[in-house]
Amino acid sequence: MRDGPAVVIDSPTLTANRMSQQTVFSGQNNILECISQTLRKRAVSNVREAFVNLLDQFGPPVLPLGLEPLRADVRTFLADWGPSYPAEKRALSWMGFDADFSRSLGAKGWLGLSIPKQYGGNDASPFERFVVSEELLAAGAPVTAHWIADRQSAPLILRHGTDAQKERYLPAICAGELYFCIGMSEPASGSDLASVRTKADRQPDGSWVLNGRKVWTTNADRCHFMIALVRTDPASERHAGLSQIIVDLTLPGVMIRPIKDLSGHEHFNEVTFDDVRLDADALIGVEGDGWAQATSELAFERSGPERFLSAMTLFRCLVGAVGPTPDARQAMEIGRLAAWLIALRSMSISVTAQLAGGEDPVWAASCVKDLGTGYEQDTVEVSMRLIDSLPSGPRAETTRRVLAIVQSMAPSFSLRGGTREILRGILARGLGVR
Amino acid sequence: MRPLLQETVERLLADAVTQDLLRAAETGVWPADLWAEIEALGLPLAAVSEDLGGTGASWTDIFVVIRACGAAAAPVPLPEAILANSLLASAGLEPPESGVIVFAAGSADAPIAEVPWGRHAQWLALHDAVAGRIALHSLDGAHITTDTNVAGEPRDTITLATGSLIKETATSAATDTVLLAGAMLRSAQMAGALGRLTEINADYANERIQFGRPIGKFQAVQQQLAVLATQAAAAVAAAEAAFLLATPSAEFVTTSSAKAVAGEAAGKGAAIAHAVFGAIGFTHDHSLHFLTRRLWAWRAEYGSDAFWAERLGQAIATAGDDGLWLLVTGAFAETSNP
């Protein structure tokens, strides 16, 4: 807005003027009451400000100028790569594994985008990563090989790692050659993550001996390293005494057992550590700071486009199968999904802007994940409601098969990366209840 | 500019819009003092360019004003006035310097239904989509049949007096101008009301004691409040996207999304608010209904969520499976920071 004559007014002065008038007119005896009223009003308005600030995190969803060439490049690359890649595989979204594809993205310079150039990255902003990610996900490209390394492990290593760790891991991550998984949950530690019992015991020579068990570890069987949250202080309880440790999954004593999920896929695993010996430099960051380090990555983990595009292939198939002349019910259902998709993209862009500004918008990111995963599951619901109404033909058949795949994955959408109920607890705490 | 505008309007409305004012407004009392302050700040002309006597604020700046009106349940047609003046100015007609102005779609020769705040207005910006004209009419001598929406806000039927026309000009015959503009306003008002609803719900959950502790200590209540907050957040984000008005084609996509999302959020949010407040919130004495009844009313006005979802769905189906993602990403043009 340009400087205009009319609207610009110093509102604190306005309020002060009003106060003094009130004071004059109400007389000396009422001054105390007037002040106390003002204080009460201020107390209320402070609460209000705290809350309004939370919603203000969803500011104008503006992408900075200059990203269009990058988006166009990614679209061209995808058009060249995948005309024959079937919808049934695209349906796996960021659970689709293809190391060749990940390496080709690395060769394009699209992995580790925000990592400094000296470590093989591109020194780019979170917006570049947002654009590349959403284009890959919207196309249902197989990104799972590098996904965790690119999203979480590389930023973690950059932030907390030693120079040697950065040099060892980051260039290979950026090249799409080195894959990481995250070791969080354990058989007795699901949502209650602070109860983890896997332990790393420091040896006199500084090395570590690792014992314990992680479960639901996505892609452990196809990754090179795990960043695990483990107890390094045996006397500690809950959030204290935890550290993050990098585990070479080829070491003796590491046993990886794939767990078949209800759809028949083996995306996640049980990983057992039996006296695994790790070098001193396996520790990442500060010993005992593991909880803070792990939770500081949550905004990255919970606000990205993968939290609302997991069912995008199904939505695309549905739109294609409905065809150009939908009836009123079909139009209403697909329009409603599109309306929420646009709202979620707006939210995700706003959170990305905050990440780009160096902030840590965990509350807003939790909003995106709670709504986004619900939206993905709703895509299955809407598809179920419309499936019998689709004009018969190959598009309807494909949509049926894709629906079956996404439907059987959908329960995990609101479990992985923090359950819906845990997220809502975080949201409630942010509102000042709890 | 946006933070200053936000602080100014929020403060003004927080001080002026008391429960007494809201109750009086529902009985038909016009809050003349509040409107005088609004005019003194030049707010109705915020979207009008400087050469036509306005401030030239962007719609992204104006979003915070409309949202604040919704949050305060402000019983004045400031959103309508901002838009009416903008409609005139963008057609090259200089808006009136003062006086309450509202907007509507219709013909000057026939009764015009559901004119917001018609009985309190001096001016009407009328878009005649059939004739392709935009006009400024005086409401002096107009015949007014009063009615209200479910929130008790005036929604009157107006028959213009002879010679009411002040000035007019040809404009595009786009039939949706008023519908889109109204939907955009209501989505931002709903976003504001949902935000305020979340805030007073959180406060109440901390104050109200049952079973020996604040009801906010119960996870069942916490989870409900979290849902309310996410619905408010979605409404804010969707409305912000609409107010970007990135391109003319984006206007339809983001506005239909905003009205559909905010409308659905209004339904869910109001229901949760009434669940948390219990019986006291269902009384007329309690102030909760000033927000929830408005949410119900605004959800219905200028097209319900189902109406806009269906329209958006038609556009998506036309775009096809390959066009879907282009349509979604194209709705947010990449611009420099406003």
A15 residue type, one letter? T
Nearest to A338, CA basis, from B180, B229, B227, B327: B327
| A137 compared with B247, residue with greater pLDDT | A137
* A47 belongs to a structural domain: no
Residue A331's domain spans which residues? 297-430
How far, in Å, CA of A314 to CA of A380, rounded?
8
Rg of chain A in Å (alpha carbons): 25
Q: Tell me which of B236, B247, B251, B264 to substitute to probe the interface with A (most A C-beta atoms closer than 10 Å).
A: B236
Mind telling me how many Å the CA of A285 is from chain B's nearest CA?
33
* A200 belongs to a structural domain: yes
CB contact under 8 A, A332 and B55: no
List chain B residues with CB under 8 Å of A316.
321, 324-325
Q: What is the CATH number of the domain that holds A302?
A: 1.20.140.10
pLDDT of residue B183: 97
Rg of chain B in Å (alpha carbons): 20
B276 residue type, one letter? V
Residues A137 and A188 both lie in one domain = no
How far, in Å, CA of B152 to CA of A148, rounded?
53
Q: Band the pLDDT of A39: cuts 50, 70, 90.
A: very low
| Average pLDDT for A199-218 | 97
How far, in Å, CA of A51 to CA of A49, rounded?
5
Q: What is the CATH number of the domain that holds A209?
A: 2.40.110.10
* A19 belongs to a structural domain: no
How far, in Å, CA of A150 to CA of B98, rounded?
58
| Average pLDDT for A15-19 | 35
Residues A160 and A260 both lie in one domain = no
User: Which residue among A178, A213, A239 closes a domain?
Assistant: A178
B209 touches chain A (CB under 8 A): no
Cβ-based neighbours of A40, under 8 Å, separated by 6 or more? none
How far, in Å, CA of A228 to CA of A245, rounded?
5
| A96 compared with A82, residue with greater pLDDT | A96
Mind telling me how many Å the CA of B33 is from chain A's nearest CA?
14
Q: Which of A61, A316, A424 sits opposite B226 (nearest CB)?
A: A424
Nearest to A383, CA basis, from A367, A401, A403, A356: A403
* A25 belongs to a structural domain: no
pLDDT of residue A35: 35
3-state secondary structure of A184: coil
* A414 belongs to a structural domain: yes
Nearest to A170, CA basis, from A220, A226, A101, A112: A112
Residues A193 and A148 both lie in one domain = no
Residues A326 and A422 both lie in one domain = yes
**Which chain B residue lies closest to A140 (C-alpha atoms)?**
B325
Q: Which of A326, A340, A427 sits opposite B313 (nearest CB)?
A: A326
Looking at residue A389, what DSSP letter applies? G
Half-sphere exposure of B39 (CA within 13 A, CB side): 14
How far, in Å, CA of B75 to CA of B72, rounded?
9
ipTM comes to 0.97
CB contact under 8 A, A67 and B334: yes
Residues A259 and A339 both lie in one domain = no
Structural domains in chain B plus CATH codes: 2-170 (1.10.540.10), 177-330 (1.20.140.10)
Cβ-based neighbours of A411, under 8 Å, separated by 6 or more? A262
Residues A267 and A318 both lie in one domain = no
List C-alpha distances in Å: A290 to A160, A203, A240, A283, A426: 11, 19, 8, 10, 19
* A356 belongs to a structural domain: yes
pLDDT of residue A140: 97
What is the domain count for chain A? 3
**Do A401 and A88 meet the contact criterion of CB atoms below 8 Å apart?**
yes
CB contact under 8 A, B233 and A55: yes
**Which chain B residue lies closest to A67 (C-alpha atoms)?**
B334
3-state secondary structure of A248: strand
Q: For chain B, positions 61-120, list CB contacts with chain A under 8 A.
A: 61, 63
**Do A174 and A151 meet the contact criterion of CB atoms below 8 Å apart?**
no
List C-alpha distances in Å: B275 to A278, B213, B292: 54, 18, 12
Answer whether residue A36 shows pLDDT above 60. Answer: no
* A23 belongs to a structural domain: no
List C-alpha distances in Å: B308 to A245, A335, B101, B241, B303: 51, 8, 27, 15, 6
**pLDDT for A229-275, tens place per residue?**
999 999 998 999 999 999 999 999 999 999 999 989 898 999 999 99
Half-sphere exposure of A130 (CA within 13 A, CB side): 27
Q: What is the CATH number of the domain that holds A103?
A: 1.10.540.10
**pLDDT for A403-434, tens place per residue?**
999 999 999 999 998 899 999 999 999 999 97
How far, in Å, CA of A352 to CA of A181, rounded?
23
Residue pairs between chains A and B whose CB atoms are closer than 8 Å: 263
CB contact under 8 A, B314 and A138: no
CB contact under 8 A, B306 and A332: yes
How far, in Å, CA of B79 to CA of B68, rounded?
10
Mind telling me how many Å the CA of B5 is from chain A's nearest CA?
8
Secondary structure tally for chain A: helices H, strands E: 16, 8
CB contact under 8 A, B309 and A336: yes
User: Which residue among A143, A178, A213 closes a domain?
Assistant: A178
Answer whether residue A349 shows pLDDT above 70. Answer: yes
B229 touches chain A (CB under 8 A): yes
Mind telling me how many Å the CA of B240 is from chain A's nearest CA?
5
Quote the strand ranges of A78-163, DSSP E. Answer: none
Query: Could you list the mean pLDDT of each consecutive 10-residue stretch along chain B, which spans 338 residues?
Result: 92 96 96 97 95 92 97 98 95 95 97 97 96 96 98 98 97 84 97 97 96 97 97 98 81 96 98 97 95 98 98 98 95 59
pLDDT of residue A69: 95
Mind telling me how many Å the CA of A340 is from chain B's nearest CA?
6
List chain B residues with CB under 8 Å of A343.
234-235, 237-238, 241, 257-258, 261
A395 residue type, one letter? R
Answer whether residue A2 shows pLDDT above 50. Answer: no
Residues A254 and A301 both lie in one domain = no
User: Which residue among A253, A288, A323 closes a domain?
Assistant: A288
Residues A322 and A413 both lie in one domain = yes
Quote the strand ranges of A293-347, DSSP E. Answer: none
Residues A210 and A283 both lie in one domain = yes
Residues A268 and A338 both lie in one domain = no
| Average pLDDT for A6-32 | 33
* A50 belongs to a structural domain: no
Residues A325 and A384 both lie in one domain = yes
Half-sphere exposure of B313 (CA within 13 A, CB side): 26
Answer whether residue A279 shows pLDDT above 60. Answer: yes
Residues A420 and A354 both lie in one domain = yes
